[in-house]
Chains A and B, each alone.
Chain A
Amino acid sequence: MHSNSSSPKASWALKAAALGTLLFLHVPMWIIFLYTFTPDERTFTFPLPGFTTKWFGIAFQREDLWRALSLSFKVAAIATLAALVLGTLAAAAVYRSKFFGREAISFLLVLPIALPGIVTGIALRTAIGGLDIPFSFWTIVIGHATFCVVVVYNNVLARFRRMHGSQIEASMDLGANSFQTFRYVVLPNLATALLAGGMLAFALSFDEVIVTTFTAGQQSTLPIWIFSQLSRPRDRPVTNVVATFVILLTFLPIFFAQKLSAQSSDTEGESK
C-alpha cells in the first residue's frame, strides 16, 4: 500500500477473494436457469442429459400453480398496501414530534424481523388457535403486514430525515393547510421512498414462507407450493420453471428499489 496514492490498489489476493464471494452469492441462482431445460424428470443429473423447453408449457398449464400465484399476489398487494399506510403514519409521527417512547416504537416495528421468523410464526399460530380464528386469506395478510411495516417505515423515515430543511413550514407559511402541504410538498418528497419501500415490502411478502406456514392453514401460496416440492419433490421440472420465474419476478422490483434509494442519496449530495 502506498501512502502517497489517493486511491490505494487492492492486492490480487483480496480481489480474488472478493470476486470469489461475489460468485458464491450469484452463481447458484444461475444454475436453476440451466435446469429449466433438462429433459430429466426424476433426478438432478449433471451434465444435463439433453435439452428441452417443454416444461415452460407444462408449468403454464398447471392450475394449482396459477391458484398459488394469484393468492401470493393478492396477499402481497394487500399486505404492501397496509404496510404503506401504517409505516408512513408511524414514520410521520416519529419525524414530526418528539415524544416519550419514540425509541420503543422503532424497536416494536423492527422486532418482527429481528426475532427469528419462527417466533413470529408460532406466536401468530398460537393466537389464531387460542382465539379459534379460522385460517383464511386474512390470517396470511395480517401476518405479512407485521413484518412489512418496518420496511416502509425505515424507507419513509430516512427520507423524512433527509428532506431539505423547513419545507413543511415553508409550505404552511405560504398559505397551504396541512392537507395541501401533504399533497404538494410531502408526497412528492416521499414518492420514491414510498415506491422503494412498497416494492421491497411486496418482494418480502411475495416469497415469505416461514410465517406463512403457520398462518395459511390448508391454503397454498407460491412459496408454500415450492416448499412442499422441496421436502417431497414430485414435479421437479415444473419447480425449476417456477423458481426461475420467482427469481425474475422479484429481481426487477428489488433492483429498481435499490437503484431508487441509491439515486436519491446521490442527488441529495449534489444539491448540498
Chain B
Amino acid sequence: MTNPSTPAIRFDQVSRYFGEVKAVDHVDLEIRDGEFFSMLGPSGSGKTTCLRMIAGFDKPTSGHIHLYGQDVSNLPPYERDVNTVFQDYALFPHMNVGDNIAYGLMIRKVPKSERTKRVNEMLELVKLSGYAGRKPSQLSGGQRQRVALARALINHPKVLLLDEPLGALDLKLRQQMQVELKSIQKRVGITFIFVTHDQEEALTMSDRIAVFNEGKIEQVGTPAEIYERPASTFVAGFVGTSNLIVGELAKRITGSDQTFSVRPEKIHLRAVGDKIDGNMISVDGVVRDVVYLGLYTRYLVQIDEGNDLVVIEQNLKTTSMDVLSVRGQKVRLQWHKDHISRVGG
C-alpha cells in the first residue's frame, strides 16, 4: 500500500510552453490521496494541459510530475496507473459497450470469464446493466458518459481524470450526474481529478479546488475557502459574482486602500436612515438598475463614493411590482463586518 501521506499527484515547477504561449507556467501542486479535486478556470487557463500531462498525452517542457511518489513526467500513458474520462467520451465506435469497457482488461490479457464478470459489475455500478451488447452509436449522451466512466474505472486506476465530462449534457442530466459521480467516487475511493470551467459544478462536487488563470494557479482551497476568501481579484470575479471594494470606499470602511470583496447575497437593502448596528458596515447609494429573476432580484446600486455594488435579495415576500419600484431611489446597504474580506489575504 502507498503511504497515506504521499500525495496522489505532485507538480514540481511544471511548465508547458507551446512556442511563445505559456500554457502552464511553473505550477506547484499537491493532490491528496482519495480526494475529489477540481481544476477550475476559463478555457485556455492551463487546466486541461495539466490534466493531459498527468495522463501522459503531453509532456512538461520543464519540471516534474509525481504519481504517488514516482516521477512519471516522461512515461507514456500506458505505463501510468491513471485513467481518463474524455470530454467527447472517445468510445470505440467499432466495439460494443461490453468490449469498450473490457478494453483495458483485454490489453492486460485478463481471462475472458473474469472480464465478463467485471464488466457486469461495472455496468451495475453505472446503472447500465443489460447494455453490454449495444453499440455506442445506439446510446444517449448520458449513457455514453457512463460507459466512458465504467471503461476507466474497471482498471482500478490510482487516479481518475475527468476532462469536462459533463459539458455536453443538458442541465438536468448534468445535475443528476454530479450527484452520481460524487457517490461513485466515495464508493470506489479513488482520487478523482475533475477539470471544469463551471464554478458551480466545482463548488458542488469538490473536496478541494485549484483555480487556474493564464497558466498559473491563483488559489487552492476548499469550496468554502475559495468562495468566502478569494485570494485574488481573478478568483473573486471568476467564482460567483463578487463586489470589489477599492479606493475611497475601501479607505472609509476599513481604513486601508487595499482591495476587498463582498458577495452580493451578503448585502442587505435598507431604507436610508435605518439604524446602524455596531457589527454592520453601512453605505448609501442610488439604485440604478433592477433585474427581477423570480427566485431573487438583482440590484445595481451606485454608491456615493462612486463604486457600483451588486446586491442580491431573495423575493421572500416581495413581488415584481415591489422590487421594480425601487429603481432610482436612495437606499442604504448594510453587511456584516465578517463578510468583507481582503483580496489576497
- Interface of A with B (CB < 8 Å)? 164-167, 169-177, 180, 184-185, 188-189, 267, 270-271
Centre residue among B56, B57, B77 by max chain A CB count within 10 A: B77
- By the criterion CB–CB under 8 Å, are A176 and B78 in contact? yes
Q: Chain B: which residue is nearest A177 at the CB level?
A: B78
Given A169-B57, A180-B107, A271-B136, A174:B151 Cβ within 8 A: yes
B residues near A173, Cβ cutoff 8 Å? 55-57, 77-78, 82-84, 152
Task: Give complex CA distance A73, B281 in Å.
Answer: 92
A residues near B55, Cβ cutoff 8 Å? 169, 173
B residues near A164, Cβ cutoff 8 Å? 88, 90-91, 93
Return 22 A-B CB contacts under 8 Å, by A number: A164-B88, A164-B93, A165-B87, A166-B90, A167-B90, A169-B77, A169-B86, A169-B90, A170-B86, A170-B91, A170-B92, A173-B57, A173-B77, A174-B83, A174-B107, A175-B78, A176-B103, A184-B106, A189-B93, A267-B137, A270-B137, A271-B93
B344 at the interface (CB under 8 A from A): no
B172 at the interface (CB under 8 A from A): no
A residues near B137, Cβ cutoff 8 Å? 267, 270-271
B94 at the interface (CB under 8 A from A): yes
Task: Give complex CA distance A185, B91 in Å.
Answer: 10
Given A166-B86, A174-B151, A175-B155, A188:B94 Cβ within 8 A: yes
Interface string of B46-60 (1 = CB under 8 A from A): 000000000111000
Given A170-B84, A174-B151, A270-B137, A165:B107 Cβ within 8 A: no
Interface string of B80-108 (1 = CB under 8 A from A): 00111011111111100000000110111
A residues near B103, Cβ cutoff 8 Å? 171, 174, 176, 184
Interface residues of B, CB < 8 Å — how many? 28
A residues near B84, Cβ cutoff 8 Å? 169-170, 173
Given A164-B93, A271-B136, A174:B104 Cβ within 8 A: yes
Cβ-closest 3 pairs across A and B = A165-B88, A170-B90, A271-B137
Task: Give complex CA distance A37, B82 in Å.
Answer: 71
B76 at the interface (CB under 8 A from A): yes
- By the criterion CB–CB under 8 Å, are A166 and B108 in contact? no
- By the criterion CB–CB under 8 Å, are A172 and B78 in contact? yes
Task: Give complex CA distance A177, B82 in Å.
Answer: 14
B residues near A185, Cβ cutoff 8 Å? 92
Q: Chain B: which residue is nearest A270 at the CB level?
A: B137
Shortest B192–chain A CB gap in Å is 15
Shortest B18–chain A CB gap in Å is 11
Shortest B38–chain A CB gap in Å is 20
Shortest A139–chain B CB gap in Å is 40
Other than A164-B91, A172-B78, give 16 A-B pairs with Cβ distance below 8 A: A165-B88, A166-B86, A166-B88, A169-B57, A169-B90, A170-B86, A171-B103, A173-B78, A174-B151, A175-B78, A177-B78, A180-B107, A185-B92, A189-B93, A271-B136, A271-B137
- Interface of B with A (CB < 8 Å)? 55-57, 76-78, 82-84, 86-94, 103-104, 106-108, 136-137, 151-152, 155
A residues near B89, Cβ cutoff 8 Å? 165
Task: Give complex CA distance A270, B139 in Å.
Answer: 12
Q: Chain A: which residue is nearest B88 at the CB level?
A: A165
Task: Give complex CA distance A221, B93 in Å.
Answer: 42
Centre residue among B91, B92, B108, B136 by max chain A CB count within 10 A: B92
Given A173-B84, A174-B103, A174-B151, A189:B77 Cβ within 8 A: no
Shortest A43–chain B CB gap in Å is 56
Given A270-B137, A271-B136, A175:B88 Cβ within 8 A: no
Task: Give complex CA distance A171, B344 in Å.
Answer: 43
Shortest A268–chain B CB gap in Å is 9
A residues near B78, Cβ cutoff 8 Å? 172-177
Task: Give complex CA distance A165, B86 in Å.
Answer: 9
Q: Chain A: which residue is nearest B93 at the CB level?
A: A164
Shortest A226–chain B CB gap in Å is 41
B residues near A177, Cβ cutoff 8 Å? 76, 78
Q: Chain B: which residue is nearest A268 at the CB level?
A: B93
A residues near B94, Cβ cutoff 8 Å? 188-189
Q: Chain A: which residue is nearest B137 at the CB level?
A: A271
| Contact of A175 (CB < 8 Å), options: B57, B93, B104 | B104
Q: Chain A: which residue is nearest B76 at the CB level?
A: A172
B residues near A184, Cβ cutoff 8 Å? 92, 103, 106-107
Q: Chain A: which residue is nearest B135 at the CB level?
A: A271
- By the criterion CB–CB under 8 Å, are B107 and A176 in contact? yes
Shortest A174–chain B CB gap in Å is 4
B residues near A176, Cβ cutoff 8 Å? 78, 103, 107
Task: Give complex CA distance A177, B77 in Å.
Answer: 8
Q: Chain B: which residue is nearest A176 at the CB level?
A: B107
Task: Give complex CA distance A169, B77 in Å.
Answer: 8
Shortest B194–chain A CB gap in Å is 16
Task: Give complex CA distance A184, B106 in Å.
Answer: 10
Task: Give complex CA distance A176, B196 in Å.
Answer: 27
Shortest B267–chain A CB gap in Å is 45
B residues near A271, Cβ cutoff 8 Å? 93, 136-137
Shortest B263–chain A CB gap in Å is 38
Q: Chain B: which residue is nearest A168 at the CB level?
A: B90
Shortest A190–chain B CB gap in Å is 11
Shortest B89–chain A CB gap in Å is 7
Q: Chain A: which residue is nearest B139 at the CB level?
A: A271
Task: Give complex CA distance A165, B57 in Å.
Answer: 14
